[in-house]
Amino acid sequence: MTDASLLAPVRSHVHRARTVDALAAIFDPDVNLAIWERPSVPVGALGGFGTIQMTTTVDRAHEELTSAFAQLPAAAWHADIAADIAVLTTSFAAIMALSHVVIRLERVVGDACKRWHADYVSVRLICTYRGSGTQWIERSVESPDVPVVETPQSLDAGAVGLFKGRVLAGEHAIIHRSPPIAGTGEERLLLVLDCPPPEETAALWASAMQRG
């Protein structure tokens, strides 16, 4: 028996599960992406949809989202999305021990942040309600003597990802990008939840608030 055969299997840096409990795995030191695999909330036409962005307390998230949607051309699906975002805000705040959350919901029609990168944040929640999901690089090791295999992967529509950034993971932060869709006619509806920035990282955080 060789030394290599005695090694424990290499753990994946991506944790997937079909319940919201999957998201708490983001604090595992070996995990830099936690995915809650779930179906998407149905979304209708996005024509006339503008960006919604706010910093809100968790208990007021649903009320403020409802008010923000009321400023847009009315659509039947707005109420369901507002309710879903409020639930995700509560879950994200509980995991990150937050009283306030930064919410951004936007229609994306071109190449947003198409370069592979890691965000200068602690943890960022990303969910694509419509269109292609955020892509990331999954790294796997078959054995100690074989080079790491890097494989592009994508979140499904509706799936919720907690992406660990450089503030917590340094060089081991998850590498990801927006799917390139310019010229395809595709539209995406993208949700990003962030922690409010502490003063010492405010400038870096602000520059990192790019589309996921």
Residue 5: the pLDDT is: 40
The answer to whether the beta carbons of residues 33 and 164 sit under 8 Å apart is yes
pTM: 0.88
Domain that holds residue 46: 3-208
Residue 47: the pLDDT is: 85
Residue 147: the pLDDT is: 74
Residue 39: the pLDDT is: 94
| Count of structural domains, the chain | 1
Residue stretches of the chain with pLDDT short of 50: 1-9, 211
Nearest alpha-carbon partner for 171 in 12, 8, 1, 13:
13
Q: Tokens 């990168």: give the residue.
A: 117
Residue 200: the pLDDT is: 62
CA distances, 94 to each of 16, 116, 164 (Å): 19, 29, 16
Residue 162: which CATH number?
A: 2.60.120
